[in-house]
Structure formats: structure tokens, C-alpha cells
Amino acid sequence: MGLLWRRLLYSEGATMRFLIAGAFSKNIPIMRFLKKYKDNAHIVLYDGINKCDWNGGRINREVFYNEAVMEYYYSRNVSIALTMSNHNIDLTDPVGNHLLEKFHKPGNALIIVNDDLRKYVRENYPDYDLIHSITGMGHLNIPLQDEDVEWLKQKEQDYDWIVPRFEHVFDPRADELDKTKWEVMLNDTCVFGCKHFEEHFKAIADANTDRKEYDADIEECWLPKFDPDRESKYKCMDIDINHINILKEQGVKSFKITGREMTDPMFEHDLFLYINRVLYGNDEVS
């Protein structure tokens, strides 16, 4: 069922796809957005929920699934992805297994990096799309080398979707890869070539494994004096309209929008901004 569903949805000429942050942590602005949204792109909303030890990407918060919110999404053909991108996975964890059962349906997805979890899900929960998380890309070279290209080609075999690092999106060696499997992040909040990329995401994942509360010293940017709202020596990693069009011409049909750390108005603004950039090639926000 899952594989057939994917083939039908993403066949030649099929709709675009958006992976959007905040399924439950940002459900209020997302629901406002969905009431206004009239296009037919496939929307997938992701989040790390129920303080699951398998979560990665950010330290667990008091964010739990809500049945009414889930039904609202499903009634609008909106899917849900769980960010189970911790590199430390105990396959017997009761919370993780409960969530796998609860959200197992065609269209829903898991964002992961652990290979044991990948095999476990493929065998027991085949309807999930599997997305390889950007958080598992920290060991790759910038620019890509032969061993990196081969590693990514293997991930193409193992996963339905891959979220590449921004630094690799326009790398010349990326033309050797299958970009129809890419989910390109449009508003990456990291900085170009961050030297802490791999160890930072591992530290966040370890905090969830150890069931620690939010700690800014672990989660927030480790670079000294970095302020994303001011002029910086670090390169911006938002993708503009011209480069979005290049990616679409190269076969990219799925894009990721972050924003769980934003205020609700800023988050809603970004949803319209980036979706309009992809679908219509403009910067309108309504």
C-alpha cells in the first residue's frame, strides 16, 4: 500500500511536496495557514512529540499529539512526520513503539538516521515514508568527495527522501545524485560550513536519550557572537527564487520549511513566503 501510494502521488507531473515544521508545537498558526491555503501540493507536517527518547533535532519539549488536531490534518489530506532522528535507538522503547503504531498510515513519514530503526520500520511498518535527516550528514566533506557521493547513493537506496546539507545542494558532485529524492531546506537556520555541525546534533540527541530538560547551552548555536538577526560573517542559507527554479529544473520536488523556534506570526509569514516562492516564483505572503 505505501509504495503504491508513493508511486501514484509522485508520478510524472504530480504535485509538489512540502515538509513543514511544527505539526503539534505550531498547530495554531498551521491551522490558520491551512484555512487559507488553496493549492494542491502535498503537505507533510513534522514534529518531535511525547518526549520520546528517539527524538532528535532539538531537545524535547512538552509537545504531545492531539487527536482532534490529527483528524483535522487528515481531513485535509495533510500528512504527519515524526522526527525520530536520534542516533541512539533502543528498539524496545515503549513510547517510540506506541508512536509508530499510532501514526502508521500511507503518507505519514519518519525522519531518522539510525539504521536499526530503518530496518525495523521497513519490516514492521511499511506504510511510512522514510526520510534521512540532515542531522546525520555531519561527517560528509565540503565539497563532496568520492566517498561522500557513494555514501549518499546508498542512502538513495535505503530511504524515500533525503534532506541534504545546504552546503551540498549546489555542489558540482551533487549532479551525480538522484535529486528527485531530495527534500531541500529553504530556510536553514544553521550557518554555512559550521564546524560543530555533527557534534552539536549528537549533543542534542544525547540530551533526549538522557531525558534532560531544554538547555540553551546545548541546543542554541555554539558559534561565538552569532546573531541571525544581524549582519554576520557567516553566509545566509535561505534559498532564493532563482535557485529554487534551478532545483526544480534539476528534478527537486520536495522542500522543507523550518520554524519551530519562531514566533507564530513570523512562522506563518515564512510558510506563505516560501511556498509562494516554490509554486509561483514570487515573494507574496498572503
pLDDT tens across 106-139, in order? 999 999 999 999 999 999 999 999 999 999 999 9
pLDDT tens, residue by residue, 163-181: 999 999 999 999 999 999 9
How far is Cα 195 from Cα 198, in angstroms, rounded to an integer? 8
Measured between alpha carbons, how far is residue 100 from residues 127, 163, 194 in Å?
11, 21, 33
Give the burial class of 136: count Cβ atoms within 10 A of its Cβ; 0-12 exposed, 13-18 middle, 19 or more buried.
buried
142, 64 contact by CB (below 8 A): no
Model confidence at 221, pLDDT cuts 50, 70, 90, reads: confident
Q: pLDDT at position 264, please?
A: 96
pLDDT of residue 6: 47
Instruction: Please name the residues in contact with 235: beta carbons below 8 A apart, sequence gap of 6 or more.
Output: 191, 192, 193
Chain centroid, CA 21 distance in Å: 7
Is residue 129 within a helix (H) or strand (E), and if so which, with residue range? strand 129-132
The per-residue pLDDT for 13 is 46
DSSP-assigned beta bridge partners for residue 86: none
Residues 6+ apart with CB under 8 A from 230: none
CB atoms within 10 A of CB 85: 30
